[in-house]
Amino acid sequence: MKFCLRNLFAVCSFFFLSVMSLAASDTEANQFIREASVQRENESFRKAAETYMKAVMMADSQVIKANALISAAVCFRNAKLYGKEFDCIERLLKEHISHVNFQRAVERQYEIADDFFNGHRDIAVPWLPFIKEADRTVEFYEAALKNASCAKQAPDAKLRLGRIYQEQSKPEKAIAMFREILTMHPETKSARYASLELIHTYIYLVRSGDGDGIWSKSARNALNDFLKKYPKDPEVPWAKQSLEEINRLEAKRLYAIGKYYHRMGRNDLAERYLAQVIREHGATEDSKESERLLAEINKNYKQPPADALRKEKFVHTFQRNTIPLEQEPVMVVPENSDGKWLLPVRDLKKNVIENTSERKVNTNEF
């Protein structure tokens, strides 16, 4: 009986102390919140935010924690410490999602990521404004996309993140991001730019070296898709020229492989690669070399004459438009008249148009 009473007393004591501890923690948190409110009214936003974070650490109540985090985020924003604001929002979305407006929180995350993309950096020390925090653009975009990958800001965010991956020499990550835009946001403006950036990345990889031809194939498919979807786009001439470049690089690679197998005595494999060059890339210079080598290997193959008709290369001619000449040339401008004239003085007698018969007259002028 004494043992049971002793255990009951211990349990009650533990429960009472726990309740008192929780109450004490929330009381201290509320004290910090009151202190931070005064600092906020005095526009000491950085100090107020740090005090709110102390309240978050001390509080046991989820409501107090969430409210303190929201207040800290607002103060960090007013102090232009957007990185710390982002951290508060991310913590709210992970730990207190029921206490926040999810849509607005994610929108603010995208806004902060855009600010960092445009060059914003948090000031590390208030009295040394030239010391900045690290660039967290990639981290912020990745976190925002993880929270809401289909938000209205997502296409532009993915496009910017892909470009950053390009600058960081991470072409495979950039390709994954651009292809995600084309898959999930095909009808947006970002999809067109993603197509062009994807092609640029593929061409970069092909130029760097394409051992198994996977990048050449991917680049060709991307170019054909672009030409099919945007037949009247201003970049169509560039796309056609890039397609020819891919074919030329692919022909060079296949010819080198065929030449290697011929040198190693494997003419059966050499013929296969040389024939592929002739069949798929007949307009390239390496096609002629492949025909010559194939005729040397296989006596039954008749090499076409040098002047044989071949597929013509794509040539884009640019329209040249000259600046139209003035009918009434300026003789003196006001800046050079020593204050005599307020308007330019024109030569009304001289006509600088050489061929007046080519001038088109607009009857609406009269």
**DSSP state at residue 78:** H
- Please give the average per-residue pLDDT across 298-302, as a whole number: 72
Which of 18-22, 174-178, 255-259 has maximum average pLDDT? 174-178
**What is the percentage of the chain residues whose pLDDT exceeds 70?**
81
User: Is 351 domain-assigned?
Assistant: no
Instruction: Give the pair of three-digit tokens for residue 361.
Output: 């007259």
Query: Domain ends where: 148, 165, 194?
Result: 148
pLDDT at position 9 over 70 = no
Domain boundary among 269, 290, 306: 306
pLDDT at 317 over 90: no
- Average pLDDT of 164-184? 94
What is the pTM (predicted TM-score) of this model?
0.72
Q: Does any domain span residue 67?
A: yes
State the DSSP string of 128-173.
EEEEEPPP-HHHHHHHHHHH-TTSTTHHHHHHHHHHHHHHTT-HHH
Which residue would you say has higher pLDDT here, 72 or 127?
72
160 in a structural domain: no
Question: CB within 8 A of 141, min separation 6: which ones?
Answer: 113, 117, 157, 160, 161, 164
The answer to whether position 319 is within a domain reads no
What does the pLDDT read at residue 14?
A: 42
Choose among 252, 258, 163, 145: nearest CA to 209.
252
Q: Is residue 316 part of a domain?
A: no
Alpha helices in 281-353 (DSSP H): 285-297
pLDDT in tens, 110-154: 999 999 999 999 998 887 888 899 999 999 999 999 999 989 999
pLDDT band for position 175 (cuts 50, 70, 90): very high
Residues 32 and 134 in one domain: yes
**Pair 53, 72: CB distance under 8 Å:** yes
Nearest-angstrom CA–CA distance, 191 and 197: 10
**Mean pLDDT value of segment 250-276:** 87
pLDDT band with cut points at 50, 70 and 90 for residue 339: confident
pLDDT value at position 281?
A: 81
d(CA 223, CA 242) in angstroms, rounded, equals 8
Tell me the pLDDT band of 10, cut-offs 50, 70 and 90.
Answer: very low
Lowest mean pLDDT among 145-159, 243-257, 329-343: 329-343
Q: 26, 77, 24, 76: which is closest to 51 by C-alpha?
A: 76
Distance from C-alpha of 303 to C-alpha of 294, rounded to nearest angstrom: 8
| Residue 315 domain-assigned (yes or no) | no
pLDDT at 60 over 70: yes
The residue out of 126, 148, 170 marking a domain boundary is: 148
Mean pLDDT for the stretch of residues 304-326? 58
d(CA 276, CA 211): 16
Kindly state whether residue 124 falls inside one of the protein's structural domains: yes
Domain count, the chain: 2
Helix (H, G, I), strand (E, B) or coil at 345: strand
Domain that holds residue 94: 18-148
Which one is predicted more confidently, 87 or 13? 87
Higher pLDDT, 349 or 264: 264
For residues 268 and 259, give the distance between their C-alpha atoms in angstroms, rounded to a whole number. 12
Q: Which two tokens stand for residue 97?
A: 């999602």
Q: Can you read off the two tokens belonging to residue 76?
A: 């960090």
Query: What pLDDT was estimated at residue 356?
Result: 43
Q: What is the pLDDT of residue 227?
A: 93
Pick the range with the lowest mean pLDDT from 29-43, 141-155, 221-235: 29-43
Contact between residue 304 and residue 278 where contact means Cβ atoms under 8 Å apart: no
